[in-house]
Structure 1
Amino acid sequence: MAGPNGRRSLAARLKDKRIIVAPGVYDAVSARIADRMGFEALYMTGYGTVASHLGLADAGLATYSEMVGRVAIIAENTTTPLIADADTGYGGLLNVRRTVQGYEAAGAAGIQIEDQEMPKKCGHTPGRRVVAIEEMVQKIQVAADARRHDDTVIIARTDARTTLGIDEALRRGEAYAKAGADVLFIESPETTEELAMIGRSFDVPVLCNVVNTGRTPELPSKQLEELGFGIAIYPGMALKAASQAVTAAYSYLHDTGATLGINVPLMDSKDLHELMGFPDVWEFEKRWHTGTGAAE
């Protein structure tokens, strides 16, 4: 688990002008794979976590208890700093305090809270409504005050752009920064010009949600860096890739009754065993002669 070193490294890294590229992870397997790649942060996607854990849409259906449990599992299986989606904080101000402290204890280095009304909806989907700016300001103030570690990164997300326009989204971003947010996340800008406005408007780092076929133009991370962004997250990439690959593999098995000749890349069994930690199990059993209770 990244723990305090992960928090410190993420907070320190955000002072650098180079962009952080953070892939979306949604379970222990995707997290273990991403953790080996050398990324500087991982992003626990709410959409992917709710989908993989509950088989439901990311529409405010997952509870705090369900989600903090996922944070703990992912953090336990990784050493890379983890940014975790905490939706709206799962309720009022007391809930926000509990969420921040619970996510911290579970291993999150960064905690993202958004200003949507309940039930919240996934970004880049229609029908999102936001709470009054004053309500979200208080949530950010509580979040910043509640953290037990000064280097836990609080990320404030606004979904105001889609329904209220870019000017209101920028106004909210400024208010959330003043309330204590360490990073601002202006969700769903719709043009490159709006991305540029966001990148130059704030004194704190800004985050871009990169979604292929989403509402926001998909730009290379280097271009986002040039526009002023400090973090680029790719929340849906792995889930989409895995879902497409599994669909193709199951279709092949259904149609042919075999895996021979399948044109979907399959991880070698040896590599999968190694990824999931079987060598440690085998070494343990060799040392302790499992079943005898005696060590060598």
Structure 2
Amino acid sequence: MSALFSSGVSDTDKRKALRAGLASGELQRWPGAFSPLVAKLIADVGFEGVYVSGAVLSADLGLPDIGLTTLTEVAARGSQIAHATDLPALIDADTGFGEPMSAARTIAALEDAGLAGCHLEDQVNPKRCGHLDGKDVVPTDTMIKRLRAAVSARRDENFVICARTDARAIEGIDAAIDRARAYADAGADLIFTEALRDLGEFERFRAAVDVPLLANMTEFGKSDLLTADQLRDVGYNAVIYPVTTLRIAMGAVERGLREIASAGTQSGLLDGMQHRSRLYELLRYADYNDFDSDLFTLEGVRS
């Protein structure tokens, strides 16, 4: 029987799988999970990995995405999500929760939490959502120090350190490309360029940067919503859908609550709900029951 209470795959093997996926030539699709249960569904549907968004974690705590969450909160929630499936999980580590020494500690904490990788960004701390105006970036050499500290703190060489640059919206695409190259030279395994506008900009970035690239397909932002086929054809290695599942869920929750408030019953909502039987299937109720029955039988034999 596969593992019931945690992932059946070791943290190191998940990190190796993430690296292998990035090198495979196949686009790695990582929807965002706002809970361990959502992560289970992501795995069940057949995606290659799980993403843990800082914006989603903040929102789930009832907070805006402006750097208010702590390393402890992020590592704890990330660990719960990472251990819910056998898939590798990449987590948003904001600016590293401080300057270089804090970024180094962040890597150690996220490794201990079982994450397969994280991304650090070059925004000024405290950061803002990457698709909002009014954000700012640190000088390139400051981000390089942040990255070098993170790389030096890595104990598992398979742990993926991704560098995110928000420079496109502030300094322009040429500056973002220059930063990406510098970040790769500083040891970043993967580059995430935030808020590219359209397919042409994604193509330009791919042609200019010779390291694995991650695309962010978030809704209601500055980037066109490109298809997986478009990103694959351009040569991107990975794509995240960071807030999609939360937005789907919250839209449905709000509609449902308003229906109950107006109609006085949830009976009209049943067709749109996940059925109890499907939830039990995802949670493997039958396997837990078999596990408990086996223990009971064994105890009975011993007595």
**Hey, what does 1:117 align to over in structure 2?**
124
Deviation at 1:285, TM superposition (A): 4.4
Q: Verify the 8 A CA contact 1:32 1:78 in the aligned structure 2.
A: yes
- 26-35 or 68-77, which deviates more: 26-35
- 1:235-246 alignment, distance < 5 Å: 235-246=242-253
Q: CA distance change for structure 1 residues 95 and 261 in 2, over 3 Å: closer, same or farther?
A: same
User: Deviation per CA, 1:138-176, whole angstroms, max 9, x where unpaired?
Assistant: 111122221111111110001111111111111110100
- Which of 144, 162, 166 is the equivalent residue of 1:137? 144
Q: CA distance change for structure 1 residues 154 and 257 in 2, over 3 Å: closer, same or farther?
A: same
Q: CA distance change for structure 1 residues 165 and 264 in 2, over 3 Å: closer, same or farther?
A: farther
**Hey, what does 1:276 align to over in structure 2?**
283
Q: CA distance change for structure 1 residues 184 and 280 in 2, over 3 Å: closer, same or farther?
A: same
2:85 corresponds to 1:85: no
Task: Write the distance in 1 (CA, Å) between the matches of 2:177 and 2:271.
Answer: 44
**Hey, what does 1:20 align to over in structure 2?**
28
Aligned with 1:173: secondary structure? helix
Task: Write the distance in 2 (CA, Å) between the matches of 1:125 and 1:263.
Answer: 37
How many residues are treated as equivalent by the alignment?
293
CA-based RMSD: 1.8
Q: Verify the 8 A CA contact 1:85 1:112 in the aligned structure 2.
A: yes
Aligned with 2:67: secondary structure? coil
Task: Write the distance in 2 (CA, Å) between the matches of 1:228 and 1:96.
Answer: 30
Deviation at 1:223, TM superposition (A): 0.9
Q: Could you tell me the percent identity over the aligned residues?
A: 35
Aligned with 2:32: secondary structure? strand
- Which of 69, 73, 78 is the equivalent residue of 1:62? 69
Task: Write the distance in 2 (CA, Å) between the matches of 1:181 and 1:192.
Answer: 24
Task: Write the distance in 2 (CA, Å) between the matches of 1:63 and 1:182.
Answer: 24
Q: Verify the 8 A CA contact 1:133 1:172 in the aligned structure 2.
A: yes
**Hey, what does 2:3 align to over in structure 1?**
none
Deviation at 1:213, TM superposition (A): 2.4
Deviation at 1:48, TM superposition (A): 1.1
**Hey, what does 1:178 align to over in structure 2?**
185
Task: Write the distance in 2 (CA, Å) between the matches of 1:48 and 1:84.
Answer: 11
- 1:23-102 alignment, distance < 5 Å: 23-52=31-60, 54-102=61-109
User: Deviation per CA, 1:223-274, whole angstroms, max 9, x where unpaired?
Assistant: 1122221111111111111011111111111111112232651111122123
2:218 corresponds to 1:211: yes
**Hey, what does 1:221 align to over in structure 2?**
228
Q: CA distance change for structure 1 residues 227 and 248 in 2, over 3 Å: closer, same or farther?
A: same
User: Deviation per CA, 1:26-80, whole angstroms, max 9, x where unpaired?
Assistant: 211211111212211111111112211x111111000000000011100121110
Structure 1: runs of 5+ lacking an equivalent:
none
Task: Write the distance in 2 (CA, Å) between the matches of 1:191 and 1:281.
Answer: 47
- Alignment-mate amino acid for residue 21 of structure 2: R
Q: Verify the 8 A CA contact 1:245 1:264 in the aligned structure 2.
A: no
**Hey, what does 2:4 align to over in structure 1?**
none
Deviation at 1:186, TM superposition (A): 0.9
Q: Verify the 8 A CA contact 1:287 1:295 in the aligned structure 2.
A: no
- Alignment-mate amino acid for residue 111 of structure 1: C
Task: Write the distance in 2 (CA, Å) between the matches of 1:235 and 1:76.
Answer: 19
**Hey, what does 2:196 align to over in structure 1?**
189
